[in-house]
Structure 1
């Protein structure tokens, strides 16, 4: 553990300088979704490349894509040792509404030991930590215990549209033994977590068309099908009253969690009563036989995200709407395939098509689920590093959300993925007043530095 003492000394001595650098990075408005920030995206990529060079990384390139560039760097001189591929993103979400920010989103401020800025937690702060961990190891150890490659993109916040092709085209360049991502969160304050699985995603829009136009309810009501009525009938057919999804074959490929995993989740002591109070609901709801945590981590879902049609203005309008629609997303678990699920949704919609209307289905976002066995040595090594710094047991969790590129990495490169994040769910990423707790910035730097040693010992030596 001597390396932890050296890392601690180094990070203490350079904390203010590192925070100043991070603030500089955060001041660049790298909003990938807005075309007016295209030059800012390039500026952020160049800033990151410069930081990587200063840290001691090599072979640094800013690789153009049809969208925003990917920043690559490596250091490959640890002969016989495993190679880590570090993934992250330098783009950020838009900042609207500006009036809800207590400080300007691209003028970083520290208040109450929290760093406030867009991208502080998601994901510039966490990417920066990996670069600085490498720098610290060079300064304190003279070398790295493992080989590293960095692949930092600029389009995560818009769904990574060009990264899968980039990864496929650069498969040899990105070859590694394990992928490490710090773009997730901890279990809670002072409660580190390693995430080893994420749910996938499949989304559709259903459009219902009745008469050629809205009709007077006094003249036609009771004799012509109301499009909203037909839509509600169809939507009600997707689930039973207890929350079980009734689409034929929806659950048939679900990989069950092991009893050991479920026992570990139970040990986490999740407080469902506290959650109800926090959310302002009198009871939780979902598939029978599973806890809230299991329903949101290891079971698939089908949710109606929005309904539209008819008149919703002030007062009343006595019409039979001719058109209505709904947006639906399904969160998927291993081994469900998004294309197969969409096909089953289409079959269900056709089977339950209400009389008197026509239906159309439009497909939207898709992403495969992913799972790395939680007892994989690279996962367990991350847990040990968290415990060495935080001095509490690490939780091994699955995430209820989706990061489509993680599944793409898994599918294209065929590598285990370690999600070791340092954010907290309360840090307002994607919302006004995004911030990063500097306690986790400080400890996270040490965790990452230690992890490079732990994973070197845990994984077999490269041939």
Structure 2
């Protein structure tokens, strides 16, 4: 299981790998915007053709009721572990455009980084896996494992149709594990394996008052303002200790052990640098928890957007008919999204003024995930990272959510290895998203190392 030839090929062709990533990044595959539906399809077609050009025979663009999924399989062995590689080719909208230093879909190299929408999340990290396979195939080296790729186009809108794909094509997705690169490292140069993800419950709220916008001089003082009322409801969702006040919100939270808290405290996390990166002097956490605990292992509730009334230039003295907000809740084991949805709605509806009505629309969510770090599939990842970085990796729980990871557990019975190469400073979902070209290269190298390490441990 010698990986010398694939590693040499990857090093010799790194410039080509970057050029191909730049080509993919130029496709504005924004999944949430119907105006970009053709671009999302174009990105899927580009990936499928890329697999075929590498010599992968079993390639298909699977249709869904939304955006397609790219399926590719290279199974050279009758008796070897099978890795299901998951990633996504869709991206977030680039707004606000005026905050980008360069056009978001014209990748630009800046100080060793590739700046573009999707550079890190997830086109760059996803394409590392395709390039690792290329390194094996083009160096006439047989990968020591079977590989199935499932690359979707709806991750940024909650993987709306991927569950159906998992059910419909379950016989073609038989595997020993799922391998994912869509997470970040704890710090620059610190290889990281993520063994837990927070879940998600996401809602949109509409507070409806009068049947139309009203003149604030003629009606103000007698008609309750929906923006005022909704703002008060939202403000009351936290207490002075930044503790969520929804009754029952913490009932099912699995307590952290002293050992877990000690392990988190020992991680090489620089709080001062973390604050400086985002332009803050102090943090605001749930009382008694460190920053790293607050962003990884504790549940949260945040208002992601709020609007209503007149927000244009100049003045318009309007008393709005309605106010709106989007609210996300990050969940931890053993919280259930549906139970949290119910608790939030009950808490809000009980305090709605009798002068208006509140609608709670459940947008999307996902279960929290934990994978035991001592499993062979996880220890193989640690060995592969160590081989690339010459540094022991750390195992961490991640504050973000990838809802489909829980679906892999529930529908296919597969644990996921989350081996990401992003950094928190890569500005995913923000202007000037970037991905370090050195990390792109190291990711490919690590994946090449991973396959023999996995085959050895699962033999």
| TM-score w.r.t. length of structure 2 | 0.89
Say whether the 8 Å CA contact 2:308–2:324 is kept in structure 1.
Answer: yes
Shift of 1:452: 0.7
Shift of 1:356: 4.3
Deviations 1:119-138 (A, max 9, x none): 33222222221122122223
| Alpha-carbon distance change, 78 to 231 in structure 1, aligned in 2, over 3 angstroms | same
1:369 matched to 2:359? The reply is: no
Structure 1: 5+ residue runs without aligned partners?
A: none
Say whether the 8 Å CA contact 2:186–2:423 is kept in structure 1.
Answer: yes
Instruction: Determine the structure 1 residue equivalent to 2:336.
Output: 337
Shift of 1:98: 4.8
Instruction: Determine the structure 1 residue equivalent to 2:264.
Output: 265
How many correspondences in the alignment? 458
SS at match of 1:135: helix
Instruction: Determine the structure 2 residue equivalent to 1:290.
Output: 289
| Alpha-carbon distance change, 260 to 4 in structure 1, aligned in 2, over 3 angstroms | farther
Distance 1:31 1:307 in 2: 23
Distance 1:233 1:107 in 2: 43
Distance 1:200 1:295 in 2: 14
Stretch moving more, 192-201 or 74-83: 74-83
| Alpha-carbon distance change, 438 to 181 in structure 1, aligned in 2, over 3 angstroms | same
Say whether the 8 Å CA contact 2:277–2:425 is kept in structure 1.
Answer: no
Shift of 1:219: 7.8
Instruction: Determine the structure 2 residue equivalent to 1:88.
Output: 87
Distance 1:441 1:158 in 2: 25
Instruction: Determine the structure 2 residue equivalent to 1:160.
Output: 159
Instruction: Determine the structure 2 residue equivalent to 1:24.
Output: 23
Say whether the 8 Å CA contact 1:32–1:93 is kept in structure 2.
Answer: yes
Instruction: Determine the structure 1 residue equivalent to 2:403.
Output: 404
1:171 matched to 2:170? The reply is: yes
Shift of 1:66: 2.1
Instruction: Determine the structure 1 residue equivalent to 2:147.
Output: 148
Deviations 1:130-189 (A, max 9, x none): 122122223447311111100111222333222111111111111211001112222222
Distance 2:189 2:32 in 1: 33
Aligned positions of 1:7-22 closer than 5 A:
7-22=6-21
| Alpha-carbon distance change, 456 to 322 in structure 1, aligned in 2, over 3 angstroms | same
Stretch moving more, 126-135 or 94-103: 94-103
Q: Calculate the aligned-residue CA RMSD, in Å.
A: 2.9
SS at match of 1:3: coil
Deviations 1:283-303 (A, max 9, x none): 322222321111111111122
Instruction: Determine the structure 1 residue equivalent to 2:112.
Output: 113
Instruction: Determine the structure 2 residue equivalent to 1:65.
Output: 64
Distance 2:219 2:449 in 1: 75
| TM-score w.r.t. length of structure 1 | 0.88
Say whether the 8 Å CA contact 1:332–1:368 is kept in structure 2.
Answer: yes
Instruction: Determine the structure 1 residue equivalent to 2:198.
Output: 199
Distance 1:179 1:449 in 2: 16
Say whether the 8 Å CA contact 1:53–1:60 is kept in structure 2.
Answer: yes
Say whether the 8 Å CA contact 1:123–1:183 is kept in structure 2.
Answer: yes
Shift of 1:326: 3.4
Distance 1:433 1:226 in 2: 38
Distance 1:331 1:189 in 2: 25
Shift of 1:312: 6.3
Shift of 1:394: 1.0
Aligned positions of 1:236-255 closer than 5 A:
236-255=235-254
Stretch moving more, 149-158 or 257-266: 257-266
Deviations 1:49-72 (A, max 9, x none): 232233343311121222222111
Distance 1:388 1:56 in 2: 28
Distance 1:372 1:414 in 2: 12
| Alpha-carbon distance change, 268 to 430 in structure 1, aligned in 2, over 3 angstroms | same
| Alpha-carbon distance change, 451 to 261 in structure 1, aligned in 2, over 3 angstroms | farther
Say whether the 8 Å CA contact 1:237–1:352 is kept in structure 2.
Answer: no
Say whether the 8 Å CA contact 1:55–1:132 is kept in structure 2.
Answer: no
| Structure 1 consecutive aligned stretches of length 4 or more whose deviation exceeds 6 Å | 217-220, 311-320
SS at match of 1:327: strand
Aligned positions of 1:35-50 closer than 5 A:
35-50=34-49
Distance 1:316 1:16 in 2: 54
| Alpha-carbon distance change, 432 to 248 in structure 1, aligned in 2, over 3 angstroms | closer
Instruction: Determine the structure 2 residue equivalent to 1:417.
Output: 416
Structure 2: 5+ residue runs without aligned partners?
A: none
